[in-house]
Amino acid sequence: MNFKKQFMEGLLTKNPVTVQLLGMCSTLAITTSLFNGIGMGLAVTIILTCSNVLISALRKVIPNQIRIAAYITIIAGFVTVVDLLLKAYIPALSESLGVFIPLIVVNCIVLGRAEAFASKNGVLASAVDGICQGIGYTVALVIVCVIRELLGSGTFGGGLLGEGGAGIRIIPEQFPAMQIVMPVGGFLVLGFVLAGSQALMKRMNNKSKKKEGAK
Amino acid sequence: MKQNESIVMYVLRLAGTLFLITAVVAALLACVNAVTAPVIEELNAAKTQEAISAVLPGGFDTEITDFADETGIVSKVYQGANGYAVEVGPGGFDNTITMMVGVDNEGKVLGISIVSHTETAGLGAVAAAGTPKGIAFRDQFVGMGAENDILVEKDGGKVDAITGATITSRAICVGVNAALDCVAGLG
């Protein structure tokens, strides 16, 4: 097990959003304020880690032929638990994320990691994978959120900071491009974030190649 | 299929495993639901209560069930000493907006509060927000009566719509109109 490698994979080189392009539905839909991004990221991280651990623990018990059905049942169970807990104890977040919490069931990141990682690796490695992939998802969401909120509403920290959760105003009210908050802006911003992460990875690759060449 | 395993045993083994998993998950959900259901119900009741007292000073005494409503969006009417609180559900940008409209005994709006909605964050959601902009939007309805239809400025009315959320603003006007008409019908 290599924690550092798994962490880098989750954060950048195999980031669920920018490289694996999983969970696009939630990434495009809820990334309009910082509060949403952090909340959704945390919820997915918790569910992903729990389901990864349980699926990894049961990987030798679950027959191969019915594994997808078994995984989905386990994931749906965890999602419903989180949904009920949020509704009861953090109603503000539950209202803000709305239908996207139940939709984590079909968020391909969770099933994707169950199939690609947890079903083939030990419990501890799967837990680390869940946390790392969850962090990667959260970071990607937060980046998209901050850009969309800044350009679309002209604020930072919506839902968390400022009077009544309006966020801290950075761009005067008449300037922000409202379309950035709409779906089309989601696609645009996501595209630029993907390009940015690709460029970053390319630079890192070139650097490590140069280092090898110098040796 | 394992060696020497009959087809019946094979099917039973698969079905049995899946059944066990679903049974355990169902039991877990039942436990969590038992714990959270009362809390959620309490929260919802408190929210309705809060919405009523926000728009109707003094709260309500009785719920009126036989009200006339042509629009079909009025769901509940509560009566108190100072007037009525009407729950209406106009269609918003992509779903129903549930809101409470307070109407005094003279048929003027006392205030509106939004109970639940799924409007776009940062646009339509401003109507329900506790921000200065949201409060200003809701407060402009206070004192309006049923003599004229309440409309946004774009449609020739007096309501200053939320920037970029004309549909949400219109929906709220529709809700307020329906509430006023409903109370007028009560006499």
Each residue's pLDDT tens digit, A2-20: 788 888 888 888 888 888 8
In a domain, residue B126? The reply is: yes
Q: Which two tokens stand for residue B27?
A: 């039991």
Put the strands of the sheet holding B74-80 in their side by side order: B62-64, B74-80, B83-88, B98-104, B109-116
A84 contacts B33? CB cut-off 8 A:
yes
In a domain, residue B83? The reply is: yes
Report the gap between the CA of B122 and the closest CA in chain A (Å).
Answer: 7
Q: Which two tokens stand for residue A77?
A: 């169970």
DSSP of B118-153, one letter per residue? -PPTTTGGGGG-SSHHHHHHHHTTTT-BTTS---BG
Indicate whether A56 pLDDT > 90: yes
| Cα separations in angstroms, A20 against A32, A65, A79 | 22, 25, 22
Specify whether the CB–CB gap between A149 and A32 falls below 8 A: yes
> What does residue A166 show for φ and ψ, rounded to 5 degrees?
-80, -10
Give the model's pLDDT for residue A73.
92
Give the model's pLDDT for residue A215.
56
In a domain, residue B5? The reply is: no
Q: Mean pLDDT: which of A23-32, A37-46, A191-200, B130-139 is highest?
A: A191-200
Q: Which two tokens stand for residue B121?
A: 């964050």
Indicate whether A140 pLDDT > 90: yes
Give the model's pLDDT for residue A91.
83
Parent domain of B176: 55-186
Q: Which amino acid is located at A214 in the chain?
A: A
pLDDT (tens digit, 9 = 90+) per residue, B164-175? Answer: 788 899 999 999
Indicate whether A1 pLDDT > 70: no
Indicate whether B177 pLDDT > 60: yes
Q: What is the ipTM of this complex?
A: 0.73
Question: What's the domain count of chain B?
Answer: 1
Q: Where are the domains of chain A?
A: 7-214
Question: Which site among A26, A51, A65 would you substitute to test the B interface, given the most B Cβ atoms closer than 10 Å to its Cβ?
Answer: A65
Indicate whether B36 pLDDT > 80: yes
In a domain, residue B182? The reply is: yes
| Cα separations in angstroms, B5 against A61, A62, A67, B11 | 17, 17, 20, 10
B120 contacts A32? CB cut-off 8 A:
yes
A78 vs A210, more confident: A78
Indicate whether A202 pLDDT > 70: yes
- Name residues whose C-beta falls within 8 Å of residue A82's C-beta, 6 or more positions apart in sequence: A43, A46, A47, A101, A104
- Name residues whose C-beta falls within 8 Å of residue B127's C-beta, 6 or more positions apart in sequence: B97, B114, B117, B119, B134, B137, B138, B162, B165, B168, B169, B172
pLDDT (tens digit, 9 = 90+) per residue, A171-183? Answer: 887 777 778 888 8
- CB-CB: which of A88, A163, A181 is closest to B122? A181
H-state helical runs in chain B = 7-55, 132-139, 166-186
Number of H helices, E strands in chain A: 8, 2
How far is CA A49 from its chain centroid? 12
